[in-house]
């Protein structure tokens, strides 16, 4: 049976990492050695994603009026701009990964030379887009990255995902990869979470769907 693995490195950007990131995930920088080791392995295609927001993005607390604009705390209702009957509950964040800023840059210690394709997501100010594939609306979907077609064009069967954050962009990228029909794996030591306490529920969902958890040290990783 064909086995054509892809690697997706999610949002390994300055704003998601200590010491200066505006939305720093604890230990975010510590995954770089693991990610670089994966980048040295023979994946058929290696993709990096960047959260890449305009300054007026809907997910920024600074773009909402008080008192319902507390970063990390406030959850707002976002309406599908193309169908006002469809809504999504979404958390507000500090300004992060603004296009053209230092915070949006990939970590310099990442082996970017090994990356074949970069996805810049979250560019539509009207919708949140945690997934590397598409925004969460379905009726209709507002914005797609084209990543599914890129992967299919390379004959990919299996998608391995690392990066930040385990409970947001990694999770929604994994759920969409699974939905797009790829066998999906999370390389667990290559991720860190915003809320580590949320991970057991995320892993239970993966188990139900058949999304696998592996480690960089697993000998069977690319076999
Ligand atoms: C992310 C919060 C807001 C992520 C992106 O990359 O997980 N989290 N935007
Ligand atoms: Zn974001």
The residues assigned a catalytic role are 11, 121, 169
Query: How many angstroms does the Cα of residue 26 sit away from the middle of ligand 1?
Result: 13
Q: Which residues pair with 83 in a beta bridge?
A: 80
Ligand with an atom nearest the CA of residue 17: 1
Q: Which residues line ligand 1 (CB under 6 A)?
A: 11, 16, 51, 59, 93, 130, 164-165, 168-169
Neighbouring residues of the ion ligand 2, judged by CB less than 5 Å: 51
Q: Can you tell me which atom of ligand 1 is nearest the CA of 130?
A: 5
Percent of all residues in the chain with a pLDDT value above 90, rounded to a whole number:
96
Q: Can you tell me which atom of ligand 1 is nearest the CA of 10?
A: 6
pLDDT, one tens digit per residue, over 61-109 is: 999 999 999 999 999 999 999 999 999 999 999 999 999 999 999 999 9
b/e 184-217 (16+ beta carbons within 10 angstroms → b): bbbbbbbbbbbeeeeeeebbeebeeeebbeeebe
Per-residue pLDDT for 220 more than 80? no
Instruction: Report how far residue 65's alpha carbon sits from residue 108's, in angstroms, rounded to the nearest whole number.
Output: 36
Ligand with an atom nearest the CA of residue 164: 1
Q: Can you tell me which atom of ligand 1 is nearest the CA of 16?
A: 6
Query: How many angstroms does the Cα of residue 183 sit away from the middle of ligand 1?
Result: 23
Q: What pLDDT, on the 0 to 100 scale, is given for residue 197?
A: 98
Query: How many angstroms does the Cα of residue 73 sit away from the middle of ligand 2?
Result: 15
Per-residue pLDDT for 219 more than 80? no
Whether the Cβ atoms of residue 79 and residue 40 lie closer than 8 Å to each other: no
pLDDT, one tens digit per residue, over 36-53 is: 999 999 999 999 999 999
Query: How many angstroms does the Cα of residue 17 sit away from the middle of ligand 1?
Result: 11
Its ipTM equals 0.98
Grade residue 151 by pLDDT with cuts at 50, 70 and 90.
very high
Half-sphere exposure of 147 (CA within 13 A, CB side): 33
Q: What pLDDT, on the 0 to 100 scale, is given for residue 69?
A: 98
Q: Among 8, 9, 11, say which to mutate for ligand 1: greatest number of ligand atoms within 8 Å of CB.
A: 11
Ligand with an atom nearest the CA of residue 169: 1
């Amino acid at each position: 049976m064909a086995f054509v693995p892809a690697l997706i490195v999610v949002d390994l950007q300055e704003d998601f990492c200590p010491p200066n990131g505006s939305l720093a995930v604890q230990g975010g920088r510590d995954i770089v050695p693991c990610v670089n080791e994966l980048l040295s392995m023979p994946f058929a295609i290696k993709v990096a994603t960047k959260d890449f927001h305009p300054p007026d993005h809907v997910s920024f607390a600074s773009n909402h009026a008080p008192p319902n604009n507390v970063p990390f705390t406030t959850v707002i209702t976002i309406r599908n701009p193309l169908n006002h009957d469809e809504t999504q509950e979404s958390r507000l964040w500090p300004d992060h990964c603004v296009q053209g800023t230092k915070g949006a840059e990939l970590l310099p210690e990442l082996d970017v030379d090994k990356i074949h394709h970069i996805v810049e997501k979250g560019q539509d100010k009207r919708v949140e887009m945690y997934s590397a594939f598409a925004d969460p609306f379905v009726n209709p979907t507002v914005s797609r990255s084209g990543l599914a077609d890129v992967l299919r064009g390379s004959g990919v069967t299996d998608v391995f995902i690392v990066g930040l954050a385990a409970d947001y962009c990694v999770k929604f990228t994994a759920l969409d990869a699974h939905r797009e029909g790829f066998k999906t794996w999370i390389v667990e030591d290559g991720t860190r979470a915003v809320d580590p306490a949320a991970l057991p529920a995320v892993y239970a969902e993966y188990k139900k769907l058949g999304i696998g958890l592996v480690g960089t040290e697993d000998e069977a990783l690319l076999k």
